[in-house]
Amino acid sequence: MKRAVSVGPALLIAMLPLAPLHADPTDDELDPIVEKAALAARATSRLIVPVPLAGPQIGAGLAIGAVWFYSPRGSERPWTTGVAGLASSNGSWGVGGQHSMTLGGNRYRVDITAAYGQFNTQFFGVGSEAGQTNESIGITQTPLLFQGQATMRVANNLFVGPRLRYLDMQTVVRDPESVPPDFDISDIEEERHIVAIGPVVNFDHTDGSLNPRSGTKINGQWLFSLTALGSSADYNKANLTINHYVDVDDKTVVGFRGSLCAASTDAPFFDLCLFGSSANLRGYPNGQFRDRASWAVQTEWRRHLGGRWGVVAFAGLGGVAPSLGDIGDSTLLPAAGGGVRFEVSSEYRVNVRVDGAVGRNSQALYLSLGEAF
């Protein structure tokens, strides 16, 4: 059984883009983390947190993040500036920075991210069959990422705007002689330059972005990588996530999440749709299942036990496919698990979570500040 550990503390907001093999963090992942960190520590101007990490992909190590909170001219939504770094026992390392701000009375939002690192990890291949074999090869990836977006409020709770992303990715197979004969690595060892632009849409009609008890949240993006802008290939990739929350009683909340991803034919392997690097389907090593399309649905039962303690139970189902039209034929990937919650801020309802999950022949442990979705 393969084991994976995912560490997603809110103060490591700058490190999200550096997650191995995950080139395109979505607003659904970034925005709540920024707000959770800012509001939970609003009483202070800065916060620094070390986080131990371990897992089969990058070994054991330590991540350290620092974030500053401030409200220029009495901004309704706190500005945040964060930096982070990590290093692990297998030689992986990364550094990054992130800045978020609001203008015009929270009518405009601007987010900027930069990251660089080197990760020694595993590549399982592309497609459901490749993931089920559990065979992988060792690769070293060196990503350099710059990303910025500006959104404007066009209606109540609805923000729309453009995103620009630059990614330089170098990949090297660490031991070419050990690669199985039937393992296709022809498109791996190439340096890729990605310059992509496209729209993002964020809709949040929940009762609070930190730990919602009711309402709906929708995030979507559609980025186009263009050779006319300097990209190595023309392709596009779209992501859509929908979260819905039901307030059952004063101690119980049930959350539902659906996600859909699609990438066109020429998308590089590191920018395909995959599981393991986000909350879309917990219980799988990062990148074990990847293809040009993916889908996932899950539900989570959250129960407050008393004091600062709570528990959760969750289950999900998903799959990957060569295209959206083939999703109906995808191999089903089940996932289930449970976890413990400890409330670190009663004012803003922010929890530290420890979740354990199982998938198809895999296990995963998640340590994080804030809920999975």
Three-class SS state of 212: coil
- Spatial contact of 203 and 158, defined as CB atoms under 8 Å apart: yes
Residues 333, 320: Cα–Cα separation, whole Å:
9
Please give the structure tokens belonging to residue 110: 């601007």
Domain ranges in the chain are: 108-369
Residues 110, 250: Cα–Cα separation, whole Å:
36
**172 bridge partner residues:** 140
- CA dihedral sign, ordered 262, 372, 164, 119: negative
Please give the structure tokens belonging to residue 134: 């559990």
Please give the structure tokens belonging to residue 242: 């929908």
Q: Identify the pLDDT of residue 78.
A: 74
Q: Identify the pLDDT of residue 16.
A: 40
Residues 56, 207: Cα–Cα separation, whole Å:
38
List the one residue out of 100, 24, 11 whose CA is nearest residue 280.
24
Provide Rg for the chain, Cα atoms: 20
**297 bridge partner residues:** 258, 317
Residues 6+ apart with CB under 8 A from 15: 63, 65, 84, 85, 86, 94, 96, 115
- Spatial contact of 291 and 127, defined as CB atoms under 8 Å apart: yes
- Spatial contact of 15 and 41, defined as CB atoms under 8 Å apart: no
Bridge-based pairing of strands 108-123 and 252-263 is unpaired
- CA dihedral sign, ordered 125, 114, 57, 316: negative
Q: DSSP character for 197?
A: E
Q: Identify the pLDDT of residue 57.
A: 65
Please give the structure tokens belonging to residue 363: 């296990």
Q: Identify the pLDDT of residue 49.
A: 62
List the one residue out of 296, 207, 214 whose CA is nearest residue 257.
296
Please give the structure tokens belonging to residue 238: 């779209």
Positions in the chain short of pLDDT 50:
1-23, 29-44
Q: Does domain 108-369 fall into CATH 2.40.160.50?
A: yes
Please give the structure tokens belonging to residue 368: 């994080």
Alpha-carbon separation of residue 106 from 30, 152, 206, 244 (angstroms): 17, 9, 17, 24
Q: Model's pTM, two decimal places?
A: 0.82
